[in-house]
Structure 1
Amino acid sequence: MKIKTILFSASIMLAGLSAKSQDFKKTEDIKAIKSMCGCYEVQFNFTETFSYSKDSLYKKSPVKHETALEWVELLEDQPNKISLQHLLITGKTEESIVKHWRQDWLFENTNFYNFNKETTWNFNQKKPKEVKGQWTQKVYQVDDSPRYEGTATWIHADGRHYWENTTDAPLPRREHTIRNDYNILKRTNVQETTATGWIHDQDNSKLIRKDSEKDVLLAQEKGHDVYTKVEDSKCILAQNYWKKNNAIWKKVRDQWEIIFLKNRTLSLEKKVDNQFLFMKLFELKPDATREDVNKIIDSYIVK
């Protein structure tokens, strides 16, 4: 009886230690995610590394080196959800602010919208054991429609803090304006915090996807975006812009959330009235009604 009691006590103690370890690990994860907030000078670097086209006239995308100033706003800060809104500063007035991409981080999330092709995202569910201890990064377009998402474990080892995942995505804006010979960008994303900010490293595959056929690899690409932290005061224009416009974009996010909660495959119209969705939403005034927002978004949902 004494042996059983000792074993039982030991198992309780080990369970307690394991829970504390998991809590500490999650705290480190949250610290890494939230450290991406603030004002950053950003270097965007992309180059096509290998091509596999059989076309002798195939032309690579040009090498891209660009710099920008970007504010990353902490939208939501909950135990199992952290939301970060990126705002691009392109000039010296508030009119130059561009609402950029958004990244939501969800702890042990099981619901996914996986990009298929064109403008369709397939809804999928994972089992809780498949995502235990993991964070899903959900990335949204400038109009808060889905872009890509994936789940993985944040790693804190050897002085490094990083998260890595591979997932399918639409073509980025820098590509879809100049390329139409592929329709999937399979992205391997690594987001790593550093002493001076953070890095978004990418190893991407440009794929051609057709129904009932095997994906064809057209080319590979390297991306290396470096976010260097600077004084928050350098991004005051973006901060002021967001104070004035946050309410309207909250209405946009709320409507998308209603759509996502339907948990079914989502397809969008490319254009309505010859306009992309972001164009119509960017035209809205800060005091636009929820009904105005909902009507615009719903018009792009393929029923």
Structure 2
Amino acid sequence: MRPLRSLTLFLAVAGFQSLAAEEPAKKEEKPKAPAPTKGHVFAWPFMDWKEMQPRGGMTQGSEVTLLKGSKDSWKRLQESGLAKFEQDRRAILAMIGSYRVSFDFTETVGLAEDFKPTRPYFSWGTEHVSLVEDKGEFISLQHSLVMYFKDEKGETQGPHVMKHWRQDWTWQDPEMQVYQGDLTWKKTPTPQPEGKWTQAVFQVDDSPRYEVAGAWNHEGGLSIWRSENCPRPLPRREFTIRKDYNVLEGIHEISITPNGWVHIQNNRKLQVSKDGSKKYLGQELGVDRYEEITAPDLATGFNAYWAKTNGYWKDVRDTWASILKERDSFSMKDTYDGKQLYEAHFGYAAKLEEAEKPDPEADLKHAKETIDSFLN
């Protein structure tokens, strides 16, 4: 396992900014480019397709082998006689696995004068989702990028492992951390939490991103979770290129499939002023698809990384848990001492990968002091 040290490559991988558009096909199977005089753009059929080519990088990853048939977790979810709560739990746990992940986003509605859609966004990566904690009514899942790349000679290099985002699920959570804009979050009572799960999503550095409630439904072999409307900060794919809005809000759907799961987002883009007034600019549709793979091996690379760094990341999670419990609201600095929060955490974690033995006291001290320096 090779730690991923390059900041440029980190930004590419963590934000999926420069990954390949698809796994490489054999030369004889490679599809031809669209005809120069014709092309169809989803949601914008009368636009010139050449102006709407997806943005994203061209880094070439290794080929993957997709799972044939269905996952065991899918089969367990289809068992008859399950209580609703147990069905919900099995659906959440079914998201664990190793996946080829694709991210597709396109603006669908213009809400500003003289609106012109930006180019659609597409990227992909290989990602391992592991179980951090399961307390029955609380389940925590850690996402980690485990990438293999081809060098100039066509030889596969890797695995490169990068801790990615985390999702925490809580049954009938009485309160949530709701994003207010301007890197500020506020503790808010959950509206009618009975029968619902909250999904709390955390950034790559384990700082909060958004939290939203929703209910699972299991009918006709379909297990789907639908969220309520939820505001959140701009994703990396947007804040690196957009300055005209500062909040993304939307409704999420997570559907469990025989070979993985699909996350669909219906998002609106809006500018929220300091006085709380809102101005909507547009709307987008996003489809994140997780397809189980059997090769390359992602678990081994992740496990090697996690064995070295998990103690530190637990300190980071526990520090944030204390902050969220004690404070009714909090706001964060975008940078401190010329760095962003993820840079401080990932730099320390990289040193842990090379360390001969752990130092729990130093880990906890660094986690607390680092996070405290980014809080206003």
Q: TM-score range by the shorter chain?
A: 0.7 to 0.9
2-structure distance, mates of 1:157, 1:189: 18
Runs of 4+ more than 6 Å apart: none
Aligned to 2:281: 218
Which one has the bigger helix percentage? Answer: 1
Aligned to 2:294: 231
Aligned to 1:240: 304
**Residue 298 to residue 213, structure 1, CA distance change in 2 (3 Å):** closer
Aligned-partner SS, 1:255: helix
1-structure distance, mates of 2:158, 2:295: 16
2-structure distance, mates of 1:226, 1:23: 27
1:109 corresponds to which letter in structure 2? Answer: D
Select which of 119, 125, 150 maps to 1:68: 125
1:134 corresponds to which letter in structure 2? Answer: K
What is the CA deviation profile of residues 187-229 of structure 1, one whole-angstrom value per residue up to 9, with x for unaligned ones? 2111110111100001100011113354211011010011011
Aligned to 1:12: none
Aligned to 1:43: 102
* Residue 331 of structure 2 is aligned to residue 267 of structure 1: yes
2-structure distance, mates of 1:224, 1:113: 25
What is the CA deviation profile of residues 42-87 of structure 1, one whole-angstrom value per residue up to 9, with x for unaligned ones? 1111111122222x4x553321221210000100011111000000
* Residue 363 of structure 2 is aligned to residue 289 of structure 1: yes
Q: Is the 8 A contact 1:38 1:232 kept in 2?
A: no
Structure 1 residue 290, shift from structure 2 partner? 0.5
Select which of 93, 111, 114 maps to 2:158: 93
2-structure distance, mates of 1:295, 1:232: 40
Query: How do 1:107-118 residues align onto structure 2 when only pairs under 5 Å count?
Result: 107-118=171-182
Aligned-partner SS, 2:297: helix
* Residue 268 of structure 2 is aligned to residue 205 of structure 1: yes
Aligned to 1:252: 316
2:94 corresponds to which letter in structure 1? Answer: S
Select which of 153, 176, 189 maps to 1:125: 189
Aligned-partner SS, 2:267: strand
Aligned to 2:69: none
1:85 corresponds to which letter in structure 2? Answer: Q
Q: Which runs of 5+ in 2 are unaligned?
A: 1-80, 149-156, 353-357
> Cα RMSD (Å) of the superposition?
1.7
Q: Is the 8 A contact 2:178 2:186 kept in 1?
A: yes
Normalised by the length of structure 1, the TM-score is: 0.87
1-structure distance, mates of 2:158, 2:340: 25
**Residue 213 to residue 122, structure 1, CA distance change in 2 (3 Å):** closer
What is the CA deviation profile of residues 132-177 of structure 1, one whole-angstrom value per residue up to 9, with x for unaligned ones? 1211100000111110111111111122101111200100000000
What is the CA deviation profile of residues 24-54 of structure 1, one whole-angstrom value per residue up to 9, with x for unaligned ones? 1110000000000010111111111122222
1-structure distance, mates of 2:243, 2:142: 29
* Residue 212 of structure 2 is aligned to residue 150 of structure 1: yes
Aligned to 2:91: 32
Q: Is the 8 A contact 2:110 2:116 kept in 1?
A: no
2-structure distance, mates of 1:238, 1:280: 21
Aligned-partner SS, 2:188: strand
Aligned-partner SS, 1:244: helix
Structure 1 residue 118, shift from structure 2 partner? 1.6
Aligned to 1:4: none
Structure 1 residue 233, shift from structure 2 partner? 5.9
Select which of 276, 279, 290 maps to 2:340: 276
1:48 corresponds to which letter in structure 2? Answer: E
Aligned to 1:14: none
